[in-house]
Structure 1
């Protein structure tokens, strides 16, 4: 690989805002999509379903377009595709409906609709109909067709090396400190209180963050939990599964790798200085692999002994907690199911869930935790293990000298930090 700086873009979906992150050793590019530019959730006429986006995808024989949607599972009906062919409507073609297998019992599930483009149609937009009569498309909402390239983008010519997809921010998430470190350390973000909004706007103006509106609560009763039988609601975690899949397709023609992890998680290499070095090693050792599973390790919040470990900066008045003080790692119980998060080659993925890929065209590899693991710093944990059952892990401190000046600089630019608030 030619010696160039590693490029990371962060893509976020939220009911208020969306975010992206940046590592101290990486440049970050981020885009912004506003409501006026693109409607991200579109009700499908005469159904209970929602449409999100459409992409060229010719990996399924005789099919050309994949429409990503959220469908009511008990109301699936035949659908028909119709295209705008340079301002002329095409004839309709039958749709193939592929419901994702993971839905955690919720009434609505991520669903792909596959369409074939008719011959001699230079399709730019697509919509779905409940009847084969194309005249009924006149008052339909059309989805622009993305990823329209004559040739598949070669991997070495990808615009970005990594895209970090941060699914829905909700509940007025406002952990500014955790978010900012994640930005510097390469992590996904989502959620919005006023201070975090100010920080995101600052990053957005600099071109580091792509903010994708995700007004799922205007269409459904989204759940704040992962299991319908326990948490109720219409759809899993504010539509998290749909946003992860949408982000993979959005990144397919521009990014070598996509990272799928939560806002409170950092995918951290332990034997390499950065993600690109890690992935070069893993890819050389596993040339047919396109899905890399990273083991989750929880770092519960414990009192930080400054007299033992040395002082860290104090961010008085800045919301959230400093993840640098989360140095106690809980050993996972591998006798029961233990979750992973993902680094994937997007072109190898057709459907994904949160902890595993559902449909793929490449092999999977579980990365050993001494090579790379997730530093998960949740706001709260279900148990509170004593210190003698935890392991000290200060890997994040290896980046402290590069991180802290950038943290100070950005917080000051966003007017969240003054000389009085920093000790």
Structure 2
């Protein structure tokens, strides 16, 4: 009996020593600036099943990965980091000769389908974490995890980890190639849908208005929406104008439904609005000449030009070094209606949502109150963005004059005390009536909402 106990203790001791040696060996590898290791250290062959993935050994999350040639080809992993639990993170870069280096950014899984194959030689290196300088006060914030290594040129997949023994999930590295021509001229990035949002009529009207001013693509991040809006989304996806990116943030965190932590609480600002805006910039960096960063109930409207192309042609000619264009927000209260009733169409009454053509009264500016802006950007000129302004950019920032371009924002009033005769009559949308009404009817019919 004594010999068996002794043998058992010796075996346990030997196993413990082996585990300690293995841990120390892996830590040594990961603390070197760059060290090649063989795939035997895995198994890592896992692809994300969603657009958000947990970072092993931490409460942090990773979203998508991009090569950034502006930073010497560094790999930028768009992430959500818990500020209170910052810790060393590591990049695992792998090269796969069989992987498609130009994995389509439109794929909602953000991973190449062939990634379950062995990727050959992989590389560990310590990551740099760049937490975005937003000031909303939430514990989880949008961040960039940057990977720099001599292996960058060959890398096609990357994973971020805080635990070297964890089973890793790999992201396909997008933007492997710098492009000078783009599939789209103007793309709208809409940050997120949540709370069973079902404002179907306003969304369809906005989409058709976008078309008339020159938008070819709209990207929307969807946590949840109502049944009527779901039909509208499906219609525009089939038509080819809309990309819907799944955004299941509520599976990982408690998202805030507002923008101030002291008022709205939760783990992260406004369902991860800042993360999705930054993700959209990199997703479409080499797909679109310009991006419009605005909310679902806003339209960035040229007032001195017939469309966005003519607007931006003039602005870029006048300001060739500008890459960020800030557009003033202006409120059109949905509580004030056009008296004529000319757009109160009976066939639209059954469609849930706001009829923006009825709300053509605009609140005046308040001299001592900040008027927030939204953005038109050259995505190749922007490194990080917030909601109303960019955080890091390579070009100049231009404040576009109110009379040249402004945002039509149909929502609840901010100046509730004002009567209709104290508002400005702004019928810009009516200029598009002849083409807009039939196109809205067509979309509502084809989607099955009418």
TM-score by length of 2: 0.79
Match of 1:30 in 2: none
Deviation digits for residues 86-130 of structure 1 (CA, Å, limit 9, x no counterpart): 212423112111000004000000010111133486211101222
- Which segment drifts farther, 72-81 or 237-246? 72-81
Match of 1:110 in 2: 142
Deviation digits for residues 123-181 of structure 1 (CA, Å, limit 9, x no counterpart): 111012226x5xx36x21111100111xx211xx2111011001110111111110011
Q: Equivalent of 2:168, from 140, 146, 149?
A: 140
Q: Hey, what's the Cα distance between the residues in 2 that align with 1:92 and 1:76?
A: 19
Q: Sort the Cα spacing of 1:158 and 1:281 in 2 relative to 1 into closer, same or farther, 3 A.
A: same
Q: Equivalent of 1:193, from 226, 249, 254?
A: 226
Q: Hey, what's the Cα distance between the residues in 2 that align with 1:119 and 1:111?
A: 23
Match of 1:340 in 2: 373
Deviation digits for residues 59-102 of structure 1 (CA, Å, limit 9, x no counterpart): 235x6100010000011111111111121242311211100000
Match of 1:217 in 2: 250
Task: Report if the CA contact (8 A) 1:300-1:377 is conserved.
Answer: yes
Looking at both structures, which has the greater relative contact order when contacts are Cα pairs under 8 Å and sequence separation is at least 6? Answer: 1
Match of 1:162 in 2: 186
Report matched runs for 1:5-404 at 5 Å.
39-61=50-72, 64-86=74-96, 87-119=119-151, 122-130=154-162, 136=165, 139-149=167-177, 152-154=178-180, 157-186=181-210, 192-307=225-340, 310-314=342-346, 315-379=348-412, 381=414, 383-404=416-437
Task: Report if the CA contact (8 A) 1:90-1:121 is conserved.
Answer: no
1:336 offset after TM fit, Å? 2.5
Count of residues in correspondence between the two structures: 372
Following TM superposition, where does structure 1 have runs of at least 4 consecutive aligned residues deviating by more than 3 angstroms?
A: 187-191, 309-312, 379-382
Task: Report if the CA contact (8 A) 1:103-1:236 is conserved.
Answer: no
Query: Which segments of 5 or more consecutive residues in structure 1 lack a partner in the other structure?
Result: 1-35, 418-423
Task: Report if the CA contact (8 A) 2:338-2:359 is conserved.
Answer: no
Q: Sort the Cα spacing of 1:306 and 1:120 in 2 relative to 1 into closer, same or farther, 3 A.
A: closer
SS of equivalent to 1:91: strand
Deviation digits for residues 234-281 of structure 1 (CA, Å, limit 9, x no counterpart): 000000000000000001011110100001101000011111110000
Deviation digits for residues 304-341 of structure 1 (CA, Å, limit 9, x no counterpart): 3444x645423121101200011100112142322000
Q: Hey, what's the Cα distance between the residues in 2 that align with 1:415 and 1:167?
A: 25
Task: Report if the CA contact (8 A) 1:65-1:117 is conserved.
Answer: no
Structure with more helix by fraction: 2
Q: Sort the Cα spacing of 1:293 and 1:333 in 2 relative to 1 into closer, same or farther, 3 A.
A: same
Task: Report if the CA contact (8 A) 2:338-2:358 is conserved.
Answer: no
Match of 2:439 in 1: 406
SS of equivalent to 2:69: coil
Q: Hey, what's the Cα distance between the residues in 1 that align with 2:189 and 2:424?
A: 29
1:389 offset after TM fit, Å? 1.7
Q: Hey, what's the Cα distance between the residues in 1 that align with 2:243 and 2:338?
A: 38
TM-score by length of 1: 0.84
Task: Report if the CA contact (8 A) 2:335-2:413 is conserved.
Answer: no
Q: Sort the Cα spacing of 1:397 and 1:120 in 2 relative to 1 into closer, same or farther, 3 A.
A: closer
Task: Report if the CA contact (8 A) 1:103-1:109 is conserved.
Answer: no
